[in-house]
Amino acid sequence: MILGCSGLTLTEDEIAFFRDERPWAFILFARNVSEPQQIRDLAASLRDCAGRPDALVFIDQEGGRVQRLRPPLAPNYPPGAALGALYQSDRAAGLRATWLLSRLHAFDLKRYGITADCLPVLDVPVEGAHDVIGNRAYGKDPDTVAALGRAAAEGLLAGGVLPVIKHIPGHGRAFADSHHALPRVDTPIGELRGHDFAPFKALSDIGMAMTAHVIYSAIDANNPATTSAKMIADVIRGEIGFDGLLMSDDLSMKALSGDFAARAAASLAAGCDVVLHCNGVMDEMRAVASMVPPLSGKALDRADKAMLPLSNDDHADEAALRTEFAGLFEAVA
């Protein structure tokens, strides 16, 4: 499991719980960050509790409205749609700016001990869809999204930060925000293949992916992708061909039903390798942990393989890359 924590430092209860349960990884949110040394100390404390110096620490650092580190911790960056707009006018510049932005994210994150970024967003919005994705997307066609998603993933990997493709098999057609309700997509599977699934298939070699809490009735009319064995086996592992580490989206989102033990159990039974719980609420984390077995077998193999690029370092000149990025695309003030 991947767990969050409640504040800027770990409580005694969190330390005891994490040391007992040994989560595979952790995730930070805005409530967990204040100044550079605090973030480094928190990341180190989490790893100490897990008993593994290489335990991953995740964050959502996309740019635009989904960016947990803000000035002065990191610059404000443009959203995916702005990179997509540049790509439409100058493909080479758009690809380079997208790679550069992710490479700059890697600089920003690694200096604080953060080693995985829930990026790139490979969702392809359709007209009228809920704005939960909106300008986080690189474009409204799968080719643009796949091309810029690849550039974003490679920029992170060049700096030794692990990317997570999300939200597999696609959240762009959802007419509800899965943080608050369960979206249902009734689109025929042929249309999903050519549009929603395509960027994920193009990036199926990336080491980690996060599921969508969305029902796709053409595949499973009753269960969202996160808890659908049919979706995971037939589409995510089958048609899309993703064989990396599959994590659930946040179990505390209101798209899912049942108590937290049931949500965790259903996600793992459906085929997720690890479950994600973000809000740091101890009672909920205890319930999740009660249903989560030790990482083993194929899931452990995928986890180990996903972590291999942590050793990457292209030794890039940060100042030069920031200057180049500003020349291509000024970071928003």
For residue 293, say if its preceding peptide bond is cis, omega within 30 degrees of 0: no
Catalytic residue among 54, 179, 259, 317: 179
Catalytic residue among 249, 250, 273, 277: 249
* CA dihedral over 108, 109, 111, 115, signed as positive or negative: negative
Give ∠ CA 169-123-162 in degrees, rounded to 5. 80
Name the residue among 240, 301, 243 with its Cα closest to residue 231: 240
- Spatial separation of the C-alpha atoms in residues 22 and 2, rounded to whole Å: 10
- Spatial separation of the C-alpha atoms in residues 167 and 250, rounded to whole Å: 11
Report DSSP state, residue 310: G
- Calculate the dihedral angle through the C-alpha atoms of 32, 168, 95, 135, rounding to the nearest 10 degrees: -70
- Spatial separation of the C-alpha atoms in residues 157 and 136, rounded to whole Å: 20
Would residue 186 show up in a list of annotated catalytic residues for this protein?
Answer: no
Give ∠ CA 282-228-137 in degrees, rounded to 5. 80
Report DSSP state, residue 295: P
Give ∠ CA 211-215-220 in degrees, rounded to 5. 105
Contacts 24+ apart (CB under 8 A), 185-192: 185/214, 185/215, 185/216, 185/217, 186/217, 186/218, 187/216, 187/218, 188/218, 189/216, 189/218, 189/219, 192/216, 192/218
Task: Give the helix ranges, DSSP H, for the chain.
Answer: 12-21, 36-50, 80-89, 91-110, 142-158, 189-194, 198-202, 229-230, 260-270, 282-289, 297-306, 318-328
Would residue 249 show up in a list of annotated catalytic residues for this protein?
Answer: yes
- Active-site residue numbers? 179, 249
